[in-house]
Amino acid sequence: MNAEPILFIAFGALALIGAVAVIGFKNPVYSAIALIVTFFAQAGLFILLGAHFVAAVQVIVYAGAIMVLFLFVIMLLNLGSVDVDRPKAGIAKGAAVILGIVFALEGVYIAVNASKGTAVARVKRESAVGGGSISAMQLKELNKIQATYQLTRDEIDTEYVPKVAAADKTVEDLTADEARTLIQTLQGEMGKTERIGTVLFSKFLLPFEVTSLILLAALIGVIALVKREEPKEVS
Amino acid sequence: MELPLHVLIISSLIKILIVVHVLLIGVMAMILAERKVSGWIQDRHGPNRVGPWGILQPIADGIKFFLKEDLIPDHVDKPIYVLAPAILLVPALIICAVVPFGSSITVAGYEIPLQIADINIGILYVLAITSLGVYGVVLGAWASNNKYSLLGGLRSSAQMISYELTLGLAIIGVLMLSGSLSLREIAIAQGANIWNWNFLIHLPAFLAFTTAAFAETNRLPFDLAEAEQELVAGYHTEYSSMKFAMYFMAEYMNMIVGSAVAVTLFLGGWHLFGLENLGGPFWSGVISIAIFSAKTALFLFVFIWVRWTLPRFRYDQLMNLGWKFLLPVALTSIVVTAIVWIGTQSKLLVGVCNVVAASVVVAIVASTLAMRREPEQIERQEPSFMKGSSSGRT
């Protein structure tokens, strides 16, 4: 019994409906709620991908914090239903149509290529042809995972290989089927918080710190803009 | 320990049914307990007319709610008005999915963990779902189309966002020592003995967490969102009948779930001096549930106790407490725990250093605030509008 496709369709449909509803509703509060639904559905999709940490952060940061502030502002400004003036001008409409067509074509292109383009599909195809032992493509995939997540080959051999094959085997001894399961296991395992932390504070330390500096700068900027001077005493 | 699929599904369904019903009955018990304890604190009897010692009072209350007219005022935004109480109630219910309410119980040869779902991001899930609770309050307030409701909703959202930060940061020290986000692992890491439990090791963080939990549940002394002397009833002014009851239930359910999470994180979960291991594979499970329930009940009593003891904060006091005291204390706790734990690997030292550091931070903040208050008071003796009006008249 595989529930994954059903869940994917459910969450995907919910995300799309929510996204359309955001621009469909005239009342900004309803739009904000639709956006929350979309964020939630996205979190569901992240969980299906094995990225539990990202899913939780998605809900905490976007659905839980940012959208509350959106609602806060909408409610404070007390916006009623807004009638948007639809642009009559030719240029804007023409550009919208062209961009829409380009976007739709992109979607079709991705949908057509999705089934053959992904790494998982490539590995699957490879192993279906290869049969016997682990293929070059699978080894390449494993090396990629190993490099991204700062694993050593020893760790894979001792920790993860016993989960899919006999304990005394190493990566090179695996059959193609076992290697496929191993890659799937690793990809699932790597979404875990511990691994994200390890990678974030080793391989991506500099980008991580730079991002925090940018956020700090934004924070200071906002305070500087908002904080008014104390009114000077008029004697 | 992998269970066969059919056992997993059946046991999960049973656990979900039991937990949800225990929560609902717990709400009734809490309503009675609140009224009884408040009576005791105020030296009066409390409800004693319905049933012996008034124990049927919650049922009478429930029947009253059902029989009242379900009034939907004309001026409200109907879809959101109807949806809002449910938005508050559902998060309160689904948080309990990850709370381990006991060790494990062996039934018919299968060892069943006493937790609905042990997910590896347990505590993050709790924080994520907690952060959604605010929508029920804010949307209900907005949909009521009433300025008192809206004021209550705005107060509540500002308050919940402010205290959510403390709630999240206070947990991090606990996570560092247990090395896991799973609530079950955190409970197991604390072990059986009271001196290893997190509330001693992270005393300042525990106090900050508890205070933030009070604020998150909109309870006195943080009930500015429904301050009846100022805002009629705040965000649920326009609600009646079962919709009001849902807000009421959500508040108590949040208290119960919040207490259960606090017990898991700080009070050792189902552990108590090895008592939870007595009596074989079946009875040890039952005992562990009893210990967990007793600890949660103790925590809930503190909730009620505080409500009937402390007066409400003023809004600026609330924000000062959240941002200038609790947040720095929680941040200090993270830094101190990390440094001392890496340096010494000693839980005793972590506990001592945490308390010392928190006292220093509170002292610094308090003295800074005290120094800054003086010019304000001088100004307040002659407010500017009085100056303006007097000069206008002359």
Query: Going residue by residue through chain B (394 aa), what tens digit of pLDDT does each one get?
Result: 567 788 888 888 888 898 888 888 888 889 888 888 888 888 888 888 887 888 888 888 888 888 888 888 888 888 888 888 888 888 888 888 888 888 777 777 777 788 888 888 888 888 888 888 888 888 888 888 888 888 888 888 888 888 888 888 888 888 888 888 888 888 888 877 788 888 888 888 899 999 998 888 877 788 777 777 777 777 777 787 788 888 888 888 989 988 999 999 888 888 887 777 777 777 888 888 888 889 999 999 998 898 888 888 888 888 888 888 889 999 999 998 888 888 888 888 888 888 888 888 888 888 888 877 655 555 555 555 554 444 444 3
Does B310 lie at the interface with A, CB-CB under 8 angstroms? Answer: no
Interface test with B, best of A29, A192, A233 (most B CBs within 10 A): A29
Cis preceding linkage at A162, omega within 30? no
Interface test with A, best of B90, B119, B124 (most A CBs within 10 A): B124
CA dihedral B172, B177, B181, B184 (to 10 degrees): -130
Give domain status of residue B127, yes or no: yes
Start-to-end Cα distance in chain A: 82
Of residues B164, B105, B163, the one with CA closest to residue B129: B164
One-letter amino acid for residue B205 of the chain? A
Both tokens of B173, joined, read 């020290």
Contacts of A33 in chain B (CB under 8 A): 80, 139
From residue B276, give the alpha-carbon distance in Å to each of A99, B108, B280: 65, 20, 10
Model's pTM, two decimal places?
Answer: 0.79
- The nearest CA of chain A is from the CA of B43 a distance in Å of 42
Cα distance between residue B295 and residue B297, in whole Å:
5
Of residues B41, B187, B60, B28, the one with CA closest to residue B122: B187
Give domain status of residue B253, yes or no: yes
Give domain status of residue B391, yes or no: no
DSSP 3-state assignment of B111? strand
Give domain status of residue B390, yes or no: no
| Tokens 């605010």 found at | B134
From residue B244, give the alpha-carbon distance in Å to each of B140, B214, B219: 11, 21, 16
Does A63 lie at the interface with B, CB-CB under 8 angstroms? Answer: yes
Q: Which fold has domain A1-82?
A: Four Helix Bundle (Hemerythrin (Met), subunit A) (1.20.120)
Contacts of A235 in chain B (CB under 8 A): none
Q: Which of A30, A56, A68 lies nearest to residue B125, judging by beta carbons?
A: A56
Contact residues, B window 39-68, toward A, CB-based 8 Å cutoff: none
The size of the A-B interface in CB pairs under 8 A is 73
Sequence spans of domains, chain A: 1-82, 91-190, 196-226
Q: What is the DSSP letter of B394?
A: -
Write the ipTM: 0.78
**Chain-chain contact of B131 with A60 (C-beta, under 8 angstroms):** yes
Contact residues, B window 64-103, toward A, CB-based 8 Å cutoff: 77, 80
- The nearest CA of chain A is from the CA of B128 a distance in Å of 5
How many independent structural domains does chain B possess? 1
B359: which residues sit within 8 A by CB, 6+ positions away?
none
Give domain status of residue B134, yes or no: yes
**Chain-chain contact of B161 with A69 (C-beta, under 8 angstroms):** yes
Structural domain that includes position B342? 5-378
Give φ, ψ of B110 to 5 degrees.
-105, 130
